[in-house]
Amino acid sequence: MSTPARRRLMRDFKRLQEDPPAGVSGAPSENNIMELSNLPIEFTEEYPNKPPTVRFISKMFHPNVYADGSICLDILQNRWSPTYDVSSILTSIQSLLDEPNPNSPANSQAAQLYQENKREYEKRVSAIVEQSWRDC
């Protein structure tokens, strides 16, 4: 059955495949257009009127990622707009990962380390990434 949310997601994914932003890609999971395959993003039937939920499944050490993997990103919360599409969501997440916002921390320890000792912060992030690769 084709619902407005599913039709919108089909358009969003088609646009993302045809004109992907630099460094961003994504496709729906094989069996469910309401889920992104690489990053757990779940869309409800209320999309685009309500934002999707996004949660990292691997361990993260980042000022804007909560311990449960959810992301502190304004466009996924109080600044959501139906004009945002899958591409803009992924681009915003990529930007947040590249340029954390320590002024709105989900992880105060990561935010403090990012502000006070960026080299140590980057070492800690690298160690967690390496560990996640070993755990796979």
Secondary structure (H, E, C), 37-86: CCCCEECCCCCCCCCCEEECCCCCCCCCECCCCEECCHHHCCCCCCCCCH
Q: Which of 9, 60, 72, 125 is catalytic?
A: 72
> What are φ and ψ of residue 61, in 5° steps?
-125, 95
The domain in which residue 112 lies consists of: 4-135
pLDDT band at 24 (very low <50, low <70, confident <90, very high): confident
Give the pLDDT band of residue 38 (cuts 50, 70, 90): low
Q: C-alpha distances in angstroms, 129 versus 58, 126, 133?
A: 9, 5, 6
What average pLDDT does range 8-24 have in this prediction?
92
Both tokens assigned to 65: 């990622």
* Residue-level pLDDT at 23: 86
C-alpha to C-alpha distance for 25 and 29, rounded to whole angstroms: 13
Q: Give the chain's domain count.
A: 1
CATH number at residue 108: 3.10.110.10
Tens digits of residue pLDDT in 73-128: 999 999 999 999 999 999 999 999 999 999 999 999 999 999 999 999 999 999 99
Q: Choose between 45 and 135: higher pLDDT.
A: 45
Q: Within 13 Å and on the Cβ side, how many CA atoms surround 8? A: 20
Beta bridge partners of 29: 32
Q: Is 136 a catalytic residue?
A: no
Stated pTM of the model = 0.87
Burial zone of 2 (CB within 10 Å; 0-12 exposed, 13-18 middle, 19+ buried): exposed
